[in-house]
Amino acid sequence: MIRNSIGRSSGVSLMGEYASLVGEAVLRQRTRQAEHTARIEAELANRVKSEFIANMSHELRTPLNTIIGFSKIVSEHDKRPVPSAEIVEYAKLIHDAAGHLLNVINDILDISKIQSGHYTLNAHETNIEEVLQATYAANLAAAREAGVSLDIEIKDHLPTVRGDAAKLQQAIGNVVSNAIKFTLQEGSVKIGAIRLQDGGIGIVVSDTGIGMSPDEIELATALFGQVDGGRSRWREGTGLGLPIARSLIELHGGQFKITSEKGKGTEVAIQLPSASTFNIQEARDALLGSGGLV
Ligand SMILES: Nc1ncnc2c1ncn2[C@@H]1O[C@H](COP(=O)(O)OP(=O)(O)O)[C@@H](O)[C@H]1O
Ligand SMILES: [Mg+2]
């Protein structure tokens, strides 16, 4: 009896010790994992940050150099005459560079307003068909230049949405311009829209482009993230297009989802609630609260 009870009690204490050893080992392992994840996240954040600074100075400097260089040639026209056809060409280059610069600056201002939670939508009852047609028209020239076909298919008569037409066009435009930018010659981009059963609107922008792996999708939707963000990147951009597009759609009470397969293409699905079901204040409070999105 005595031996039994001693055996039991030492067995119990051994079990206790063993349990605490296992517990400590699990804790150590978790701490190591957490440190590893934190280190990887910090490295990724650092990489994205330095790539962003490098890309951003490139994105700002290139158009500025164009503006400075060509305006100098034009301003010295009386000393060194330039044929009038060339002057017109230079004026166009200056105009395009200035427009590009304005877009980059607007994107930076937009994302900082969105992040600080001070973004205001100029919301009205909006005809989404007009927004989609305008987005299509605005991207036709870029598609032609890239040798990519661009089509639009609006299946049903779409209900109006309560929203900011300019911001919706900016969001959908960012997605369409990406689709064109990341699709090789002879590929195709389609903008499709249907009326959803719950009265909302579904928009899908699909392309037959280079596609992304699940990790790359995550990187692409992160602020300033670009899949090929290093110096070898083969397309221009600041990495702000997708985060702005997603935030703008979410501010409209909508949803934004990317599905993609490397080498096959990408589909961006956007869902917008119809004007009758949308509550802008509710969406804003849910998304931003008193702080910001991030
Ligand atoms: N349709 C697409 N197909 C393949 N990659 C895409 C597509 N759209 C976005 N991406 C990837 O996501 C990144 C981020 O996109 P975005 O935020 O618009 O920034 P940017 O266009 O300035 O690079 C792009 O650099 C690209 O790597
Ligand atoms: Mg983009």
* Residue boundaries of the structural domains of the chain: 1-117, 125-288
Residue 18 CA, ligand 2 centroid: distance in Å? 55
Lowest mean pLDDT across 2-11, 61-70, 109-118: 2-11
Residue 2's pLDDT is what? 43
Does the structure show a pLDDT above 70 at 115? yes
Instruction: Indicate the top mutation candidate among 178, 227, 246 to test ligand 1's pocket, ranked by most ligand atoms within 8 A of CB.
Output: 178
How large is the average pLDDT for residues 145-167? 93
In tens, the pLDDT along 30-71 reads 888 888 888 877 877 777 777 777 777 888 999 999 999 999
Calpha distance 111→243 (Å, rounded): 8
Q: Tell me which CATH homologous superfamily contains domain 125-288.
A: Histidine kinase-like ATPase, C-terminal domain (3.30.565.10)
In tens, the pLDDT along 192-239 reads 999 988 888 999 999 999 999 998 998 888 777 677 655 445 567 788
pLDDT band at 148 (very low <50, low <70, confident <90, very high): very high
Calpha distance 194→170 (Å, rounded): 20
Q: What is the end-to-end Cα distance of the chain in Å, rounded?
A: 65
Residue 51's pLDDT is what? 73
Residue 94's pLDDT is what? 97
Structure tokens at 47: 């990489």
- The dihedrals phi and psi of 167, each to the nearest 5 degrees, come to -75, -35
- Contact call for residues 261 and 194 (beta carbons, < 8 A): no
Chain centre distance of CA 161: 22
Residue 86 CA, ligand 2 centroid: distance in Å? 31
Ligand 1 shell residues, CB under 6 Å:
174, 178-179, 182, 207, 209-212, 220, 225-228, 237-242, 266
How large is the average pLDDT for residues 173-199? 94
Identify the nearest ligand to the CA of 184 by its number.
Answer: 1
CATH class given for the domain over 1-117: mainly alpha
Residue 281's pLDDT is what? 57
Fold matches, 1-117 and 125-288: no
Lowest mean pLDDT across 76-80, 115-119, 128-132, 251-255: 115-119
Residue 226 CA, ligand 1 centroid: distance in Å? 6
Give the position, in ligand 1's atom list, of the atom nearest the Cα of 238: 22
How large is the average pLDDT for residues 130-155? 97
Q: What is the residue-averaged pLDDT of the chain?
A: 85
Does the structure show a pLDDT above 80 at 188? yes
